Amino acid sequence: MLRSERSESRLKLILGHAGLACLCLIAAFGVLGFVPAALAQQGTSEFTLQASSFSPDAVAPGGTSASTIQVGSVNGFSGTVNLSCQVTSSQATIDPPVCTISPASVTAPASATATITTQSTTSTVGYSVTITGTGPTTTFTTDPLPLTVLAVTPQFTITVTTTVAPSSVPAGSGGEGVVTVNPINGYQTPPDGGITLSCASITPLVTIPPTCSFSYQDGPFLKITGQPKSATLTINTFGPVTTGADVRPKNFYALWLSLPMLGLVGLGAARGRQKSTTWGVLGLLVLAASFLMVPACGNSTGTSTTTPNGITPANSYTFTIVGVDSNGVVSSNTGTNNTGPTVSLTVTAPK
């Protein structure tokens, strides 16, 4: 009986030690399993690989984004690491983003840049970007980095191609310039309409301001089918208008020329017979007086003007240009106030 109890005690002791050994072994495997997992987040036994989030992490179609890649060295590794990247999406896409890395091959430790490029036709969904580093014996891929291509509304912007010339005119004259409409995000004008341009504002405010108008190549509208198009801007001012000739007779000023002639005729009659030389002198005087009277009897002409619409005040004017298509899409130019481009014209006093 005593021997049996001792055997049972030994068995319990052995089982106890075995259990403890198992627990230690399990704990050891747990630690060993955790360490490789932690290392896997950094890289391999040769190098480490880290990539920053893409900036920006959301772009419009046609936009770009970038991430900085850091390749570190493990245990003095100084070999070559080849870098590549891949873009995937859980949804069906058209013209997905393209990822490129520069430089595509580095010697650890080093850095590189991953650039994402999208097109105007790229599907507006979420994407995942993974970056892979391949060393002489090991390969590592980073966790997916998110990138979103935003859904945007196709629109257009306006730029001033040629400023208004001449830049300074007297009231009653005008100048011309050229503006260009640029489609973005695949914008096209409606098939049955187009874009109408106008000067949304003119500063400063005056009673009789200049006027602006636009002429298009396609008729009453500017049609866009994927490529930029230009329009001519014309600015006119109000000033004096010529109405006709102003006639002023000058017959009165020639009357005095007849007085010397009458005196000479009377003198010749009173003296009677004179020598032929006297009559010769008299004839020359009469002939000279006749020539003098010819221009004096004419009329002088000038011009007369009127200002039926008033006169544009002398000032420097600024015109803000906007556009709207037949669907109500308004031009959208980059800027804090989104006010559109401007042109200017200086008006001086009429000549």
pLDDT at 184 (0 to 100): 85
**What does the buried/exposed string (b/e) look like for 272-311 if buried means 16 or more CB atoms within 10 Å of the residue's CB?**
eeeeeeeeeebeeeeeebeeeeeeeeeeeeeeeeeeeeeb
| pLDDT tens per residue, range 296-315 | 445 555 678 788 889 999 99
Identical fold between 47-149 and 155-240+309-348: yes
Q: Which residues contact 138 (CB under 8 A, 6 or more apart)?
A: 44, 45, 46, 47
Domain 155-240+309-348, classified CATH 2.60.40.10, yes or no: yes
| pLDDT tens per residue, range 57-70 | 999 888 999 999 99
| pLDDT tens per residue, range 95-139 | 999 999 999 999 999 999 999 999 988 999 999 999 999 999 999
Phi-psi region of 185 (alpha: psi -120 to 50; beta: other; left: phi over 0): left
| pLDDT tens per residue, range 283-294 | 555 555 555 554
Domain coordinates of the chain in residue numbers? 47-149, 155-240+309-348
Fold of 47-149: Immunoglobulin-like (2.60.40)
| pLDDT tens per residue, range 219-246 | 899 999 889 999 999 999 999 988 776 5
